[in-house]
Amino acid sequence: MLVHLFYHNVVGKLLAALLNGLTDRNAVIRKNYAVSIGHLVSTAKDSSLEKLFAKIKTWYFEKEGNKN
């Protein structure tokens, strides 16, 4: 049980670290970071996922605003 709780805490930190890789200029690097995030999402806490999706949503709407 202790390992399970520790793992969930680490997953949130890993997601936060991997999120920065999505802004890399190299498409192959971005894809690999996205795949890694996808693998971790299946085991992450709901609170970690909410933070992740909030950040991605913010990036998306900022880009949309810059196009106009």
pLDDT in tens, 19-65: 999 999 999 999 999 999 999 998 888 998 999 999 999 988 887 66
Cα torsion angle, 33, 24, 30, 46, sign: positive
Q: Which pairs from 1-5 meet CB under 8 Å and 24+ separation?
A: none
pTM exceeding 0.75? yes
At position 51, the amino acid (one-letter code) is: K
Residue 25 DSSP symbol:
S
